[in-house]
Structure 1
Amino acid sequence: MVNPTIQRRRLGLALKRARERAGKTQDEAAVVIDAAASKISRIELGQSGIKLTDLGLLLDLYGVRNDEAESLRELARAGRQRGRWSSYRNAVPDWFRQYLDLEGDASEIRWYQPEVIPGILQIEPYIRAMNATAHARSATEDTDRQVTVRLERQSILRDTGPELGFILSESALRRNIGDPDIMRSQLMHLAEVGKQANVTIQVYPFGAQTYETASFNFIILRFGEDSSSDVIYVETFTDADYLDRPDAVRAYTRLWDRLRAAALGPVESRRLILRMAGDLKRQQT
């Protein structure tokens, strides 16, 4: 199935490159289609579709012709379809549905998480315990749909899925979500998933001998071998930022590399996770 979000991102990136190649500004492009410069920005970020008539005007402005122009028209048509997650509109906000589409088509995902277990690594009891705390007044139906979304996302954990790298702060593993039995099951699940060939889990321990750290989570998404299409996803309480500027991508990639170097290796990390799970089991006896 063609992912419309990915097609919009590909179109936006291609239009941005064509505009810059033509020496045009976003303001100049906006005048041509009788829109605000922010509209051009949303199109180039893949956050908004574009009418074919407006696309034709931009292609003329940028001097894009023949096969290249037709290829961009095809991307625009594909980008107007509904995404896979559109049926979850009530349970998932717009800004996060875009991430879900990107996550599903990424060839490589690098995920740094300092406070809780990443969503695609969570078991159902852990998800429900988190929801019970964060959304105490949420309807049961909404909670069920949110759980369904999170569990469906875990299909990318299959062996033929993307390359997945996780760096988890030790605090994310020690923060009690639910009862000790839930936490022990969650930790055992992490240890099991970490054995997969395409999954690497590293723990950033309290005793790391470095000052390098980040108090916020971020995700680096890559699509194929072309790093110029990398996206950095940084989530806030009510919104998210999708960063694709080369300088931002380079900065976050360097941060990831430093965090990975400071974290325990995969084997040491798995031993620590299993040791924590064993400690929880002994506490229950």
Structure 2
Amino acid sequence: MANPTVQRRRLGNALKRAREAAGKTQDEAAAIIDAAASKISRFELGQSGVRLTDLAHLLDFYGVTGEEAESMRDLARAGRQRGRWSTYRDALPGWFRQYVDLESDASEIRWYQSEVVPGILQTGPYIRAILDGGPSEEIDRQVQVRLQRQSALDESDSTELSFVLSESAIRRTVGNAATMREQLAFLAELSRRPGVTIQVLPFSARSYVSSVSFPFVMLRFDHDAASDVIYVEDYTDASYLDRPSDVRVYTRLWDELKAAALGPVESRHLITTVADQFREESGS
């Protein structure tokens, strides 16, 4: 089943292009459906579903007909369905639910992480160590969600997955030495899978990008640059950036991070070396 969140974003992009091509403003479009301009903005950002009656009025106002109109109606129907992650709503903060929907349908994921291993790559013990201190049932639910998200790794023939990790992420002890040894061994194994690329940005990188301290994720759908989304997260909230100017800035930053990082083979060697150091520390 197509992801409702992704379908809403696609419809939003299509509606925005149609409105601009028709030379109409959001205020003018809002008047057609007797709503505030903010509602048109939410439609175009993919933040809410569009009723077929509202869509019909907008398409007529924009002069959209034929196959293009029918395609938008199909997107509107799909966008009003429940997402595949709806059963995990209690385990996901509201600002993160949209991300997991987008992640599960992305055709390409580019992820930079500065301090810890990316959530989608974490082992169960590593997850539990990060979440240590919370209610046990809540932790169990969080572990279940994160491990479920790893299904993308098993479908890497259809999803391109690229990661750049700061050397801090593989050296910082989360849990204990045994936890880190298992986590790094898992990363090394993943790096050998087709469609998965893991690179490490070493402390010795001679580039200003080596000081980038914030993580971000770039999501692409069917390799359509117009639908690219940049996800930037802080402690209690997240931003979803899709303006072309933002996408260009983060694409350039991503290219610079990859260029400054070790190659995939060198990165695997470093990950394995650090895993061996943790093995010696844990005495196993």
Q: TM-score scaled by structure 1?
A: 0.95
- By how many angstroms is 1:28 displaced? 2.2
Equivalent residue for 2:47? Answer: 47
* Structure 1 residue corresponding to 2:219, chosen from 197, 221, 228: 221
Deviations 1:77-126 (A, max 9, x none): 11111000011111112321211111111111100000110011000000
Equivalent residue for 1:241? Answer: 239
* Structure 2 residue corresponding to 1:197, chosen from 182, 194, 205: 194
Aligned structure 1 segments of 4 or more residues deviating by more than 6 angstroms: none
Q: 2:108·2:223 contact (CA, 8 Å) conserved in 1? A: no
The 5 A counterparts of 1:107-256 are 107-132=107-132, 136=133, 138-158=134-154, 159-212=156-209, 213-256=211-254
SS in 2 for 1:184: helix
Q: 2:129·2:175 contact (CA, 8 Å) conserved in 1? A: yes
Distance in 2, Cα, partners of 1:234 & 1:27: 30
Q: Which moved more, 1:228-237 or 1:262-271?
A: 228-237
Equivalent residue for 2:275? Answer: 277
Deviations 1:176-221 (A, max 9, x none): 1101100111011101100111111000111101112421111111
1:70 aligns with 2:70: yes
- By how many angstroms is 1:163 displaced? 0.7
Distance in 2, Cα, partners of 1:161 & 1:66: 31
- By how many angstroms is 1:42 displaced? 1.8
Equivalent residue for 2:100? Answer: 100
- By how many angstroms is 1:275 displaced? 0.8
Residue 261 of structure 2 aligns with an amino acid whose one-letter code is: A
Q: 2:114·2:169 contact (CA, 8 Å) conserved in 1? A: yes
For structure 2, the 5+ residue unaligned runs are none
SS in 2 for 1:229: strand
- By how many angstroms is 1:150 displaced? 0.4
Distance in 1, Cα, partners of 2:44 & 2:213: 29
Equivalent residue for 1:268? Answer: 266
Distance in 2, Cα, partners of 1:31 & 1:143: 47
Distance in 2, Cα, partners of 1:121 & 1:71: 36
- By how many angstroms is 1:261 displaced? 0.4
SS in 2 for 1:227: strand
Distance in 2, Cα, partners of 1:281 & 1:86: 40
SS in 2 for 1:274: helix
Residue 260 of structure 1 aligns with an amino acid whose one-letter code is: K
Q: 2:157·2:194 contact (CA, 8 Å) conserved in 1? A: no
For structure 1, the 5+ residue unaligned runs are none
Distance in 2, Cα, partners of 1:22 & 1:29: 11
Aligned residues: 281
Q: Which moved more, 1:159-168 or 1:250-259?
A: 159-168
Question: How much is the aligned-residue C-alpha RMSD, in angstroms?
Answer: 1.3
- By how many angstroms is 1:2 displaced? 2.1
Identity over aligned residues, as a percent?
Answer: 66
